[in-house]
Homo-oligomer: A and B are copies of this chain.
Amino acid sequence: MGKTWRAAIVGATGYGGVELVRLLLRHPMVEIAAIYSSSNAGSPFADSYPHLNTIVTDQLEAIDVESMKTKADVVFLATPHGVSAELTPKLLDAGLKVIDISGDFRLKRGEVYEQWYKRPPAQAAYLERAVYGLCELFGEEARGADLIANPGCFPTAVSLGLAPLLAERWIDPATIITDAKTGVSGAGRGLSLMYHYSEINENTLAYKVNRHQHTPEIEQTLSRVAGQDVTITFTTHLLPMTRGILATSYAALTQPRTDEEAVDLFRRYYEGRPFVRIRPAGQYPATKEVYGSNYCDIGVSVDKRTNRITVISVIDNLVKGAAGQAVQNLNLMMGLDESTGLAFTPVYP
């Protein structure tokens, strides 16, 4: 197609992978060169996803580094934990750039990964080499990088919501509590009773209470922004909807503030960042307002009665929480404007 960059997608039969396909199809500078899957290799991709009929005519290919080396410049790994850790060194050795959507390269310390993921970590050298691609906070590091650890969905929403407060020392880092809510698609396409329609429709529940593997990822980011160790309480809830994350974060203010001052802080902090939108005082975002888009919308409220601040941040877990941010990282790696191919409007209603 005459596009500049050739991308391979590995693990395209999951929801993160198929969302990458949707986004890259509209990217003006990147073409999808090949799609790989450990299952269904040899069958048309559209057999797994009929909505792609007539749009994607490619067959799924068996995972093969030599093939990727020939066909692609950059590889997106939408693979399960563990697979990325194994594939990545080979891909880098082959001279390819890698954007990993799994959790394998996000935590800098292997022992923390092992503790929360209950599996061996990737090699330390690669953990060090990986750039943690939370674009609005560390985007500069992505420019020219060859290995991006694309952030998790919860860490993206939570970290963007808390970073300005920690960076400016508005809150006491020891008091942070985040109550997160997610749609079901974050759990992927794998079957489980918990995601069986009749079980989760018209229902909600908390899960992995105090042991969600995104906790140390959030803490790593917040500690870096705060310049000191941050430990948080983090709870995740499953909601009867497909897409969307809403994170409600609470912390004690270090001094009295008003709603307007808080809005102003956030607006200054994210000035010039196209994908973070701050609501005016007294207004709070809904997940549907970012549906299908790469936005993170944020609302803040000061509770004068308790001197706490409440931050509401929302994203589409499959876009800003996965595939969209991966494309944003690609843009940064390649020296493009970060919104290239991503400047579209949420689907509403």
Give the B-binding residues of A (Cβ under 8 A).
Answer: 15, 18, 21-22, 25-26, 49-55, 177, 179, 181, 183-185, 187, 189, 191-193, 195-207, 209-210, 231-233, 235, 237, 239-244, 246, 248, 250, 274, 277, 279, 283-293, 297, 299, 301-303, 305-306, 308, 310, 312, 344-349
Contact = CB atoms under 8 A, between A and B. Distances in A.
Contacts of A231: 305-306
Contact of A349 (B15, B232, B299): B15
Given A177-B308, A181-B181, A345-B21, A242 B206 contact: no
- Number of copies of this protein chain within its complex: 4
The 4 A-B pairs of least Cβ separation, nearest first, read A205-B286, A203-B288, A179-B179, A51-B289
A202 B202 contact: yes
Given A177-B308, A250-B250, 4 more contacts: A179-B250, A181-B204, A203-B241, A292-B347
A49 to B, nearest CB: 7
B197 A189 contact: no
B240 A308 contact: no
A130 B296 CA distance: 44
Nearest to A187: B198
A271 to B, nearest CB: 12
Interface centre among A21, A201, A297 (most CB of B within 10 A): A201
Given A210-B303, A349-B199, A51 B288 contact: yes
Contacts of A196: 189, 191, 195-197
Given A347-B292, A347-B347, A310 B237 contact: no
Contact of A184 (B201, B290, B348): B201
A204 B285 contact: no
B203 A201 contact: no
Contacts of A15: 198, 349
Contacts of A179: 179, 248, 250
Nearest to A292: B347
28 contacts: A25-B344, A26-B344, A50-B286, A55-B345, A177-B250, A177-B308, A179-B179, A179-B250, A195-B196, A195-B197, A197-B200, A198-B349, A199-B349, A201-B202, A202-B202, A202-B243, A202-B244, A205-B312, A206-B246, A206-B248, A209-B312, A210-B305, A232-B306, A233-B250, A239-B239, A242-B349, A291-B347, A292-B347
A240 B239 contact: yes
Given A26-B344, A197-B197, A241-B202, A209 B310 contact: yes
A18 B348 contact: yes
B277 A248 contact: no
B241 A204 contact: yes
A312 B206 contact: yes
Contact of A210 (B54, B239, B288, B310): B310
A261 B302 CA distance: 35
A248 B209 CA distance: 11
